[in-house]
Structure 1
């Protein structure tokens, strides 16, 4: 069953290799997209190589809309974006992938149907294909090697779609069944180390002892310690003291 989430259709125009169609399906499903449309696949349809490469995303291939030409594939769409790495001599809005998917998300949320076109592997979309689009999306790739694999291009746009429509956390810490140490627990750890370092004669000369203690306290306060970290560091110091006492 297709996802109920409104989303764009990804249209593969005259794709040549079944493996790339399957890889594109897998990339789409990775990011919650399942509206694939195929325009005149070179090797016919269905394609066993596509199924093998889809690796779990086979339902996208089963549900893919098959069209004889581009006009038929996008006939129901309100806005069409063409992917291309080359200047075409056509006056069009040119989006970055991020901007293209933000605009797509805005239009889809407003109830519009949006299609994103991907060209065949050999040379990409033809000028006639791009002329049918309302806008172009271009990836900022190395100008000396601008060609992207079909599935890679699909993956990149699918990722930007996900970023535009999902709550993507920029950074997080997985706690692995641990809790952060409290300020009091860190203070006790600092006290433990400071006492042992005092006994070992670390704070020398006396004129620098106070600034050395301050720097150590500052170091402990900067460290993001879990309760497990604190217990381990207490244990490390106790064992070192026991070892020194045995040695003495």
Structure 2
């Protein structure tokens, strides 16, 4: 399944700001097909266009139809979103399951993510046009999500399952090598022992904490150089302090 085969369908969206925000979320995650079912008359006004920002082409190219049946006319698999549970609303997909199910669909199929009204969601008659149901687990105290927020969350899961178009690490600085990290930790050990921050008899006790912190961070070469620069400044300051003590 490719992202071009997935259409985001908004059923009777009531606010231009939400529509613009949905366009923006779509562009964030690489989706471009938008269909509006009987939208508010202001769906393409200045507020919507300002909210869409660089995703304005998605709004301008959106298909507008009168009914959900028209929107799904050429669709092979439609995912209806809902929080209402009942006898005829079973086998819900989580957002993660939604992404995995999309990824298993062949490239020849057309799929739709159907989002309901801001206040009432999708009616039962509309959900009957969908083959699968998707729900986002939320707290009972306030279970309803903003339309654009819910759409963004689901599109993120779809993007992850279908293959991210932008790598997580977009920086130009390469990651630090094991040798560079080892040199940094050796430098840290010496510098922090010199100022009595580490116990010279057992410096690894605290140094292991630094290793865990920096390990999670995934340092690149520039960051290692900055940390070593900090250690170098500590070395110089300690050296000057000791000189003054001797005077």
Q: What's the TM-score once normalised by structure 2's chain length?
A: 0.78
Question: Equivalent residue for 2:33?
Answer: 35
- Give the unaligned 5+ runs of structure 1: 203-211
Question: Contact 2:4 / 2:33 at 8 angstroms: preserved in 1?
Answer: no
Q: Which moved more, 1:221-230 or 1:110-119?
A: 221-230
Superposed displacement of residue 84, structure 1: 0.6
Q: Deviations over 1:110-151 (max 9, x none)?
A: 421111111111211111001111011011011231111111
Distance in 2 (CA, whole Å) between partners of 1:57 and 1:184 is 46
Of residues 102, 107, 111, the one that matches 2:108 is 111
Q: Which moved more, 1:170-179 or 1:152-161?
A: 170-179
Superposed displacement of residue 171, structure 1: 8.3
Question: Contact 2:191 / 2:234 at 8 angstroms: preserved in 1?
Answer: no
Question: Contact 1:92 / 1:135 at 8 angstroms: preserved in 2?
Answer: no
Distance in 2 (CA, whole Å) between partners of 1:182 and 1:48 is 52
The two structures, once aligned, show a CA RMSD in angstroms of 3.2
Q: Write out aligned runs for 1:52-201 (5 A).
A: 52-107=50-105, 109-167=106-164, 179=176, 181-184=180-183, 186-187=185-186, 190=189
Distance in 2 (CA, whole Å) between partners of 1:175 and 1:219 is 32
Describe the shift of the 1:220–1:92 C-alpha distance in structure 2 as closer, same or farther (beyond 3 A): closer
Question: Contact 2:30 / 2:165 at 8 angstroms: preserved in 1?
Answer: no
Superposed displacement of residue 5, structure 1: 4.6
Q: What's the TM-score once normalised by structure 1's chain length?
A: 0.78
Superposed displacement of residue 219, structure 1: 4.6
Distance in 1 (CA, whole Å) between partners of 2:38 and 2:188 is 69
Distance in 2 (CA, whole Å) between partners of 1:220 and 1:90 is 58
Superposed displacement of residue 11, structure 1: 0.3
Distance in 2 (CA, whole Å) between partners of 1:27 and 1:238 is 50
Of residues 180, 202, 208, the one that matches 1:215 is 202
Question: Equivalent residue for 2:6?
Answer: 8
Q: Deviations over 1:15-40 (max 9, x none)?
A: 11222111111111111111100111
Distance in 1 (CA, whole Å) between partners of 2:171 and 2:42 is 46
Between structure 1 and structure 2, the one with the greater Rg is 1
Q: Deviations over 1:35-57 (max 9, x none)?
A: 10011113266444322321221
Question: Contact 1:88 / 1:127 at 8 angstroms: preserved in 2?
Answer: no
- Give the unaligned 5+ runs of structure 2: none
Q: Which moved more, 1:72-81 or 1:224-233?
A: 224-233
Question: Contact 1:178 / 1:228 at 8 angstroms: preserved in 2?
Answer: no
Describe the shift of the 1:142–1:45 C-alpha distance in structure 2 as closer, same or farther (beyond 3 A): closer
